[in-house]
Structure 1
């Protein structure tokens, strides 16, 4: 068999990176549960009509098909696709289980998703997301929109990553402004303005004229709105100065002020009002969020979401919601690529029990069992060798301690191979310092 060729866009972390990922996921999960979000996992596939009913996603969906399927039979697995986010399957889950859920329903989901987009740094075709959403029946109080960034802010502060800034906008601001200008297709304007960071203002202006029927003056006004960026509620005056009036615009500005003011009170510096933020998916109807890491702004958002009024709806049933999603793989891929995260050792092992000779393997296994019974990760040396070689085995993996079984009635000893200190020890009572018990994840200094 020839050496396999890696498939781009499907990250496979090395063990040390995987331990970092698990550490990060555990801290995120813990923060979500502190806020009362309950765990949920949904299936990997959804009906194609559900995946394609909201947003321009048809080019990104992976279709599920059996190799031997007969296309003429119809109704096969090609009616299913892998989910491209966790919000659409969550909305479907709520509709299917509404009679069993208590509302408002708060859930978190940490799962893989799949998108058929072009792989590049920090962008993958298979990746891990960590979502929180709150849905309610008929109406959802707006205070949940103000809570979302506070949860994410706490989650990010628990991680050894650069400072995060959550950029927030409200689609009502944009849509109301565009309607106030006289533009009749605000959704097309939103989709076009959402490309600002990718293609720049000149090309966006040209596209607005070409695809949204805007005049040059209307296109310039849209760009002036998108230029507004403030760390406080002063964006209201900046919008008013553009001279556009509309009731929906007024409603959006009021809501956006509430989000910004709540963050200023509880987490100063966390949020910035950024009126070019639109989000590409059509199901968002109000507040929208994107998040940048300091020093990594050029790579775009690593956490995003917003409010949706009609995604979870069928007939007379409607469950509006608001949610936000951390792109765990995206964030970690960027940080790994720049050497910004490290772990204190490449294995969970805290102690290696040295093996004097094979006849003593049973005794060494007993020492390891005694340590493991007290949740101390331990392995026995792979083979009997000179102790210097067994110490180097531990050093190469970053394992801090080597245990030496006593000979001829002598007590066991344990050696901290970093400092060289060696002391008598009993496997029934010895405990390492708390900082050595588990691998520690740290950010770049």
Structure 2
């Protein structure tokens, strides 16, 4: 299936967005230790969206800085119809996410008990903190507690949307769909002797395979500790789609140990549809060798049910089980350079026989996207990776096979207007001598 997409840019809000219209600053602290500071609070409301912002600073023990952003009208929310509030902020909010809280408030001024906020990073660098409420609300309060630094956290605005179709993505289905995620989130883990996090998460969705997000820690792993990064695609997949992932290794971890503790999960909305271990299912020996040499490694993940049936998905979670590694990573352990949904590899019979007296064979590729997506492009190669295309066509006829032996070709498929193809499908040709013609005995 192919879902429709909106043409809005990533920096535009969902249609029908309702913005907070009043701001109240709240500085916390003591006369002895000092207070947090809130700068230009009214810049977080007004003619939104724009790039004006309030600032929060809590640079000492016992200090806090908060801003309450109120909407003009109370918004109805129920468990059956939850509503998500998004707060646009900056990269410092991700850096200090362990000392930030985001809480909804009723019209009566009392706080609403909610789950911890989620963070969403867009490819253009925009960052949101979000909470989903299941009861009516009128305001949201963002609090920054002592950061131990002089860092400012900027609060640009808060909004909820009447027309949001996805409570966990402020920009659902709003960009041309060539498989690049439009939003990513990270989930940190704090432990007794340090903190595990994903640094620069947006670098994994910026379309540049040189830049990367980094799974890192400044402490020793204790207990069941995982670092997670989730990628939200612009639309639902087709059933045959795969996810192309580019990773590299940093530090002294053995590639096999690292890959064994990387888990991939595909979701359709909030429903888990597929789980796999990287080393067990996806990385061949030669790719593990490249990973051990700190090279960028590209592999493909096909979300499927346990019976092999393909699933429709709209997001991917990549997690690293740091607890099982049982070491102080001290720096980046895993780098994620790119995540992209691509077509599944085309199909051609894997093994084909060619007779030397014929010397050629017609190969025809097929894709599950045919009849769903028009103008697919098929390219044929002599190698699994790299090299120039032999021909761009659904069909290819290798010739000159007049001696016994074997040949191997590869074919991929690309959606129109998209930069990245599928994985390559291997096609083996066995060249054999023509069968002997048996003699004919003539009986007079």
Bigger share in helix = 1
Bigger share in strand = 2
Q: Which band: TM-score by shorter chain?
A: under 0.3
* TM-score, length of structure 2 as denominator length: 0.20
* TM-score, length of structure 1 as denominator length: 0.20
